[in-house]
Amino acid sequence: MRGPGYTLSSFGDLSARAGAVRRQEVSPGDSIIVRTQNSVYALRLGEDGAFSVSGGWFRRKGRENIRMTITGCSLGGNMIRIDTLVACGFSIEFGNRLITSPVRSFFVLRNGWVN
């Protein structure tokens, strides 16, 4: 059985057009609020490169404000964009192997905009 038929080139093109936040675009203290198909997550980048993560699966498991890395974004298959943190239509893959439902929308709050 074959997947949706993405090539490496089309995978990269899709994530570039989807509206995305790349790793190099965020600084410590920045927050990203993400609405996926099933949940809402709040991600705040720390000085060590890990995120303080709340919401979604973490809230349901009673693990709010947990320190977590983000591996990247994927379309649920074997290819992952490690340079991209969040992209519409893609799933976020966390360091604990959690894969979210597809991202529907997001916004970035730069350091200093959140108390």
> What pLDDT, in 10s, does the model give residues 80-100?
889 999 999 999 999 999 999
Q: What pLDDT sits at residue 85?
A: 95
Domains in the chain: how many in total? Answer: 1
List for the chain the helix, strand, coil content (%; round to 5). 15, 40, 45
Q: Is it the case that residue 5 has pLDDT exceeding 70? A: no
Does residue 114 form part of some domain? Answer: no
Longest dimension (CA), the chain: 49
- For 3-85, where are the alpha helices, taking DSSP H only? 8-17, 56-60
Does residue 1 form part of some domain? Answer: no
On whether the pTM is more than 0.85, the answer is no
Q: Which domain holds residue 52?
A: 8-109
**Amino acid of residue 95:** G
Q: State the Cα–Cα distance between residues 30 and 85, nearest whole angstrom.
A: 13
67-99: string of b/e by CB count within 10 Å (b at 16+)?
ebebbbbbbeeebbbeebbbbbebbbbbeeebe
Report which of residues 49 and 10 the model is more confident about.
49
Per-residue tokens: 55? 């919401």
Report which of residues 72 and 7 the model is more confident about.
72
